[in-house]
Amino acid sequence: PHPDQMHFDELPNEIIECIIGLTLDSYGRTDVKDLQTFASVSRRWKHIVLDCPSLWSYISIAWDRINQTLGLKLKRSRGNLLEVDDSTIRAELISCHEILGAAMHRLRTLSSAQSQTEALPSLVGLDLTGLERLSLAIPLYHSAVHQQIGPTPRLRSLTLEGVALTPTVGHFGGLQELTLANLPIPSSMIQNLFIIIQNSPLLQSLTIQSILDKDASAASLWPNSDGTLELPRLTHLTVRYSETSLASSLLHSISAPKLQFLLVEGNTRPPMSVQFFKAATESNTRQASLITSILENTKPKDACLEIEYGYRLMLFLPVGAPRYRLKLVLLDGGLPEGMDEIAALINNVWTSSTFTPPSGIIVKLAGIEDSGTKPSNIDFGFLLELPDVQVITIASTLSGRVALLDFLTKSNSHPSIRHLHRLEFIGYQDQWEDETFELLARAFADQRESLRDTVPSLPVLTIRFGTRCIISPRPKPCPEQDYDDS
């Protein structure tokens, strides 16, 4: 070997342990047969494998019981903390704490997803001081399970699906990730869950999904008298498929000055979605809105807000993608009610934030004729409420295209669309319709070009439809060249 290179046999044992760990399955652990294969390479490797407790510390309850390797792993992992996966459904109603017995106090990670509540582990009276990650789940069609848990000072991640915990002050002081899902439970138990949230000052990621209690009162759920849920370190917030008043109340009440990511999904039709927009965009004297926090925590060069509004996906605000525009996407079922109000809210956040706004807004429209509205009655007026529209993409038949083009023609000089530089008409391609539409598109482009005397900063406008493309101002013809016939 080269003088500067080390022979493989000279590698320290710790490096070989890491190499073995990296060659295992996607969970970072594997079954005993694979470990025995590594141990058969050489005497040194056998010593390393048998003398490394961390390689034996991952336990799959179902797999290790089938292969009768559970006892071997408990022995060779010695006193090392265990990562236990109990997510495979078992036929017998026996929980993992009955299977592991005294080894339960060695848990670092426990994941248990069961079809029967009796198979979930009991955590009462256990020493869980080493537990860092806990996930408990039962199907939504069961009644919620009420669990109690002892002190968990090292717990960093908690996922509860169909399971509620009795809160105790100080139990979750170090919690950083929390997921609460599938809880068709009374208001009192929902309030207990929010007490857990309130008692987690280090919380960085919060997911609320499918909490469907329709009797939950908004302000009464919050521990603070002013109805504010203070989460000073929260950076990621997700609210999915929960009862509308509860979800909007949660969005309105959370104060998260370091928020960078917000995802809101619902399964109700408009105008319920307007409540989500209001809750996420409206500030008050006590706290900034969630979207304002996102804008202020994002560098201008990294800003990308995507707002999708439709039947399924109501509000989507990822930040950090390498695109510099806000994207407003309207999907499924026509233009919803309240679009003027939503556009005004976006405009208010855009203009009032101390954040330097990114360069313009992208608007994508799809299914605008699905609601049964006649194309001539489609109201595109909300576009004029937005602060700086630069790109519009629409999937529509000829009538929808004509309606949008007619609206833009009448509003060509409006400040909201003054920086429009791209129009895309996609889908429903037909050669005859494209030829008919080309005349209208060219007339619009020429009319817009006529504004250049009064608005010299007008950008070049590109209109795409089918295989055709119209550019305004018209490309200058190539200068004629003189050829020497000789």
How much is the pLDDT for 177? 96
Report CA-CA distances (Å) from 388 to 102, 347, 404, 445, 462. Answer: 64, 9, 17, 19, 17
Question: Which value, in Å, is the radius of gyration of the alpha carbons in the chain?
Answer: 30
CB 163 within 8 A of CB 186: no
Task: Enumerate the β-bridge partners of residue 251.
Answer: none
Query: What's the mean pLDDT when you consider all of the chain?
Result: 76
Count how many Cα atoms sit within 13 Å of the Cα of residue 292 in the half-sphere of its side chain. 22
Determine the pLDDT at residue 481: 53
Secondary structure (3-state) at 160 = strand
Cβ-contact 436, 401 below 8 angstroms: no
What does the pLDDT read at residue 132?
93
The per-residue pLDDT for 202 is 93
Residue identified by tokens 């109501």 is 314
**Got the DSSP string for 178-204?**
EEEE-----HHHHHHHHHHHHT-TT--
pLDDT tens digits, one per residue of 82-120:
888 887 655 566 667 777 877 888 889 988 888 777 777
More confident residue, 326 or 132: 132
Name the one residue in this structure whose structure tokens are 């795409």: 464
Q: CA torsion sign, 152 to 153 to 157 to 161?
A: positive
Contact 230, 255 (CB under 8 A): yes
pLDDT bucket at 167, cuts 50 / 70 / 90? low
Strand pairing report for 145-147 and 133-137 = unpaired
Query: Tell me, what amino acid is at 100?
Result: L
> Who has greater pLDDT, 418 or 431?
418
H-state helical runs in 201-357? 244-253, 272-281, 290-296, 339-352
Give whichever of 270-279, 293-302, 310-319, 357-366 has the largest mean pLDDT.
357-366
Please state the φ and ψ torsions of residue 217, each to the nearest 5 degrees: -85, 140
